[in-house]
Structures are given as structure tokens and as C-alpha cells.
Amino acid sequence: MVSKVSYWLELPDELSQIHDTFHVSQPRKCVADKTAVVPLEDIQVNDRMNYIQKLVAILEKKVKILRKKEVPLVKVQWQYRKVSEWTWESESEMLEQYQELFPENDFEDEV
């Protein structure tokens, strides 16, 4: 512990570019799964040291109904994740970033 709200982690040399001090809310308990190891050379980071994930496929679509509106969502598969791991994302945000993965005939708004 560095203070009441921060921890310092001793990281290996290959992770020297990562900031080694964390807020107490950030570290999580980790139960090691030796089959889920990702080689460090496979991890891509941008200039702000954020992990870069690439969308591989759109698996499914659905509409989430809230009280006064409907939100179109897509189930997406990300690169470097197992087949069983996916996330639901906003269809409009995914369309802006990954238009090439959306079939053209799926959109009713096009003229």
C-alpha cells in the first residue's frame, strides 16, 4: 500500500510501460486459469497504453426495450477472446466503427 487509496504493484520488466500504481478500487482478485494465458507479444496497446481490441464478428442482434425507447444492440465477438466470450454493444456505435462487418441489406433506413 502506498496510501489509504492506492497500491503499488511490482511488475515484470516486460510490463515496464504500464503505470504501476493503482487506486484501491482497481485491483481484482485473480483465480489463475493456466489455459487462459495470453502471450505478451499478442497484446496490442495504443499510444495512451489502452488495450486494443478488434471486432471479429457480429453474432446476433436484439432490441432492448426501456421505458420510453428501444435500443438496438449487437452481440459482438472480439479478437483475443475465447469463442464463449462476447459483449452486447450499441448497434449505432459498432456501425460507426466497423461498418464493413454489417451486411448492407440489414438496414431499413437506407434508401
- What would the pLDDT profile of 40-59 be if each residue is shown by its tens digit? 666 777 788 777 777 788 88
The residue count of the chain comes to 111
Residue 50 lies in a domain: yes
* DSSP helix/strand/coil, 37: coil
Residue appearing with cell numbers 515496464: 16
Number of domain units in the chain: 1
Q: What pLDDT score was predicted for residue 46?
A: 78
Residue 34 lies in a domain: yes
Other beta carbons within 10 angstroms of residue 74's beta carbon come to 23
Q: Taking Cα atoms as reference points, which of 87, 37, 36 lies closest to residue 57?
A: 87
Residue 41 lies in a domain: yes
Full domain range(s) for residue 13: 6-106
Residue 71 lies in a domain: yes
Residue 111 lies in a domain: no
Residue 1 lies in a domain: no
**3 grid coordinates:** 496510501
Convert the pLDDT of each residue in 62-97 to its tens digit. 999 999 999 999 998 887 654 457 889 999 988 888
Q: What pLDDT score was predicted for residue 30?
A: 72
Contact 61, 74 (CB under 8 A): yes
The pTM assigned to this predicted structure is 0.48
